């Protein structure tokens, strides 16, 4: 285990230090049971970081004895979507778009049935009716929007992807769609006049002081610091250093990586969460306005919006205009908290009432999902509040 020194101790921020020991033991037990490869977390209360720790191996290979460090760079997967949502709200508060605006007013391919009525708000909340991620529903014959892009190989990836049609009418169901967040990336690009990835880096990441957060990790100093949770990442790093990294096809270069393409550290994510907690400001620098954050983190979906993804069975899905807002009988965090998970897995959770932010990475062994590193860990984290 490696813990970096922080400016504040748990006691300084009203947190029971014994619960840190329980959290470390919990993660170590999951490593010993071969459920996760490692764990890396950072926690802050009222902007004061009091824990920054890594436990376990850097690599999925058991014969690789290198330790994970708290500043190891890791893929944040769908936590990227929170950055995309903030970018949309920044553009909204600058008068560049309206969140209730039809997507077809910005992207002409949507200005026709059955896509005509889809709004930006529905994309943000996964209620647009667009096709969900592969694996959300059991259907071996499912053809995703990306399958159409790959088959078509045309210069118009949006038109190709929309051949997949709708799963449902807009506004009738919650169905997790990373494709919808790629479309939001296109909205950002067209409205801002620059690529969505560049907009996010220049207008959110840099003002937040996030020095280890990227879309592109093809630099030696970054690649050398990457976590290696699976063979796919291992081969990517190897190909980079051997000069054999293949350029993506032209069609894929057009697709924004706003649904899950970012890399970061637990401390950087904690800064991003702290900025949201502090009403859009960090270290005296404005990133986004307080009212935009309030609107983004207000519950958007009503009880009529059901979730059937991943065998959910038609439960009500509480979702904001960007973040997940579920709070059930197992949640120790306060109702009104908001968060986003990332595949593989990782999580960023913000509790405005308790002023607690936690970011953590828990790469699964063989990428097999389990709840203990996410939901059980969150309960331990919140149990330390005095």
Q: Which two tokens stand for residue 213?
A: 């957060």
Q: Which pLDDT score is estimated for 247? A: 84
Is the domain covering 1-69+345-386 a CATH 3.40.50 domain? no
Q: Which two tokens stand for residue 19?
A: 């619960």
Q: Which two tokens stand for residue 200?
A: 């996010």
Q: Which pLDDT score is estimated for 219? A: 87
Annotate 314-372 with DSSP letters as a single string.
Answer: SEE--B-SSSB----TT--SPTT-EEEEETTTEEEEEETTTTEEEEEE-PBGGG---SI
Q: Which pLDDT score is estimated for 367? A: 92
What does residue 40 show for φ and ψ, rounded to 5 degrees? -145, 120
Non-local CB neighbours of 21 within 8 Å, separated by 6+ positions: none
The CATH H-level (homologous superfamily) assignment of domain 73-326 is: DD-peptidase/beta-lactamase superfamily (3.40.710.10)
Q: Which pLDDT score is estimated for 220? A: 86
Q: Where in the chain is the domain with CATH 3.30.450?
A: 1-69+345-386
Q: Which pLDDT score is estimated for 103? A: 98
For the chain, list residues with pLDDT below 70.
Answer: none
What does residue 273 show for φ and ψ, rounded to 5 degrees? -65, -40
Q: Which pLDDT score is estimated for 246? A: 85
Looking only at the bridges linking them, the beta strands covering 356-361 and 38-45 are antiparallel
Half-sphere exposure of 132 (CA within 13 A, CB side): 19
The 10 Å Cβ neighbour count of residue 193 is 9
Q: Where in the chain is the domain with CATH 3.40.710.10?
A: 73-326
Q: Please state at what angle helix 80-93 crosses helix 266-277, rounded to 10 degrees.
A: 30
Task: For residue 42, list its beta bridge partners.
Answer: 52, 359
Alpha helices in the chain (DSSP H): 18-32, 80-93, 120-124, 145-152, 157-161, 178-192, 196-200, 220-223, 231-241, 250-254, 266-277, 290-296, 377-383
Q: Which pLDDT score is estimated for 221? A: 87
Q: Report the C-alpha gap between 138 and 135 in whole angstroms.
A: 6
Q: Which pLDDT score is estimated for 312? A: 95
Q: Report the C-alpha gap between 205 and 131 in whole angstroms.
A: 29
pTM: 0.97
């Amino acid at each position: 285990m490696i813990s970096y020194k922080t400016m504040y101790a748990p006691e300084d921020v009203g947190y029971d230090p014994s619960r840190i020991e329980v959290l470390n033991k919990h993660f170590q037990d999951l490593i010993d049971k071969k459920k996760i490869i490692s764990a890396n977390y950072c926690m802050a209360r009222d902007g004061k970081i009091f824990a920054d720790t890594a436990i376990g191996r850097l690599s999925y290979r058991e014969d690789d004895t290198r330790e994970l460090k708290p500043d190891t760079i890791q893929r944040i997967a769908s936590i990227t979507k929170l950055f995309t949502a903030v970018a949309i709200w920044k553009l909204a508060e600058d008068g560049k778009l309206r969140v209730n605006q039809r997507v077809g007013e910005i992207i002409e391919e949507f200005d026709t049935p059955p896509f005509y009525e889809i709004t930006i708000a529905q994309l943000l909340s996964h209620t647009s009716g667009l096709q969900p991620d592969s694996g959300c529903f059991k259907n071996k014959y499912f053809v995703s929007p990306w399958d159409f892009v790959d088959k078509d190989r045309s210069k118009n990836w949006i038109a190709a992807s929309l051949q997949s049609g709708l799963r449902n009418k807009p506004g009738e169901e919650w169905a997790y769609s990373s494709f919808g967040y790629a479309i939001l990336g296109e909205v950002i690009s067209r409205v801002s006049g620059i690529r969505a990835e560049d907009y996010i880096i220049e207008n959110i990441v840099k003002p937040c002081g996030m020095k280890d957060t990227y879309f592109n990790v093809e630099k030696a100093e970054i690649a050398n610091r990457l976590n290696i949770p699976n063979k796919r990442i291992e081969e990517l790093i190897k190909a980079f250093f051997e000069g054999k990294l293949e350029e993506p096809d032209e069609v894929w270069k057009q697709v924004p990586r706003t649904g899950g393409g970012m890399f970061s550290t637990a401390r950087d994510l904690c800064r991003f969460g702290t900025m949201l907690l502090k009403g859009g400001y960090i270290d005296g620098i404005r990133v986004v306005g307080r009212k935009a954050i309030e609107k983004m983190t207000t519950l958007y979906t009503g009880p009529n919006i059901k979730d059937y993804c991943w065998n959910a069975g038609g439960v009500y899905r509480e979702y904001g205009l960007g973040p997940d807002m579920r709070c059930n009988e197992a949640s120790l965090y306060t109702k009104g908290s908001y968060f986003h998970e990332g595949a593989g897995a990782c999580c960023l959770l913000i509790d405005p009432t308790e002023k607690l932010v936690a970011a953590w990475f828990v790469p699964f062994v063989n990428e097999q999902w389990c709840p203990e590193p996410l939901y059980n860990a969150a309960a331990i984290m919140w149990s330390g509040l005095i």
